[in-house]
Amino acid sequence: MIVSEPIEVDLSSDGAPVRFIWRSVWYGVTSAPEPWLGRTAWWHSAARAPRGGGVPLEREMWRVDAVPLQGTRVRLDGSFDLTRLPDGSWQLAEAWDDELEMRLFA
């Protein structure tokens, strides 16, 4: 599911996410974080991409598996795409709930 919400991320010494806080719940990363570059949806904010690189077209992404580190009413342990924005802040781009996937594809 597309989330696009701000999060806070704690990083390891090599710069990989180790935990993050989303909707007041801490999640611990349980797998090796996978870095990749995603495309920025520049067309949502501009009619065309400006010449000379005024808008970054790629964004730093990390796919992680994570579980809540504290009790929650709705348990969401699954895969998450974390995005580091150009200003250094973080956003949860997308989330996949393992239980929902099992119900849909079992």
Phi-psi label, residue 18: left if phi above 0, alpha if psi -120 to 50, beta otherwise: alpha
Predicted TM-score (pTM) of the model is: 0.76
- Per residue in 54-101, pLDDT (tens digit) is 666 678 999 999 998 887 665 567 899 999 988 899 999 988 876 656
> Is the Cβ–Cβ distance between 54 and 27 less than 8 Å?
no
- Per residue in 21-52, pLDDT (tens digit) is 998 889 999 999 999 887 766 555 556 656 66
What pLDDT, on the 0 to 100 scale, is given for residue 1? 78
